[in-house]
Chains A and B, each alone.
Chain A
């Protein structure tokens, strides 16, 4: 069964603005999640430099032994990436849906300062609902 372990949102400078961890064993503390996010931002940029052909927009999928990492970069440069079980389907569409939630509940929120950590309750609620429907396998872990 496929499951989502965590979700990160990075602003265009590489700073972590949102982090949600649904896993149980591999939990990271705040500092580590900040470092991992910045590291990913840099790796994403470097991978564009190593492309053999023009027009590379960075890493979209990273496959490791125990997890897959799907990354979506929006036009302004905000990156959304999700760590999930290997072979989880439909992660790209989930990421696009999360981007829609982000534009609706975060960007359109007049009290939200752009590039700052996200503290919008409605965003959290809707995100949990979106992830829940994919998270059946995590129940009982």
Chain B
């Protein structure tokens, strides 16, 4: 799938049609499962402590990716269930919806996973996730002081992200 745009941040794809905040929380993981970023805007229910929550989320996504790669009805040659897939290999899911939330997921070729948990009626957020990845590249990756694999502490990134997510309808 086509992934990379130009070298600058793509213009924001969403026109805000509703004010207010639709997003509950957001996670960014790297390929080793380290949670680089966790942001919470609206989360009334905390079932587990943060470490367990991150691990559970990563585990769920890892298993779901394995499941979708195996269940793919179109490709004839699939690996065995449980074999770790490379980023981009095999069919991957991009979102799932329950009655209380919708989770949108994107994995980059470098293994960075961006997850956004929103209201269940939210539309397709793939373009938004790509834009968020663009923000990550600009504010985090290009920051010479940032140590890859460590949690993100960039104020500029947090502000830009906050502003963008609040504008998603």
Contacts and interface: CB of A to CB of B under 8 A. Distances in A.
Interface string B56-90: 11011001101110111111101001000000000
Nearest to B70: A36
A10 B76 CA distance: 25
A67 B67 contact: no
Given A36-B67, A50-B56, A66 B74 contact: yes
B72 A66 contact: yes
Contact of A61 (B24, B67, B68, B96): B96
A95 B103 CA distance: 22
B42 A52 contact: yes
A46 to B, nearest CB: 5
B68 A62 contact: yes
B60 A32 contact: no
A5 B67 contact: no
A103 B100 CA distance: 27
A63 B94 CA distance: 6
Contacts of A46: 56, 59-60
Contacts of A51: 45, 47, 98, 100-101
Interface of B: 1, 24-25, 42-45, 47-48, 53, 56-57, 59-60, 63-64, 66-68, 70-76, 78, 81, 91-101, 103, 117
Interface of A: 5-6, 23, 25-26, 28, 32, 35-36, 39-40, 42-43, 46-67, 69, 83
Given A6-B73, A49-B56, A64-B93, 8 more contacts: A5-B73, A46-B56, A51-B47, A51-B100, A57-B100, A58-B98, A59-B96, A62-B64
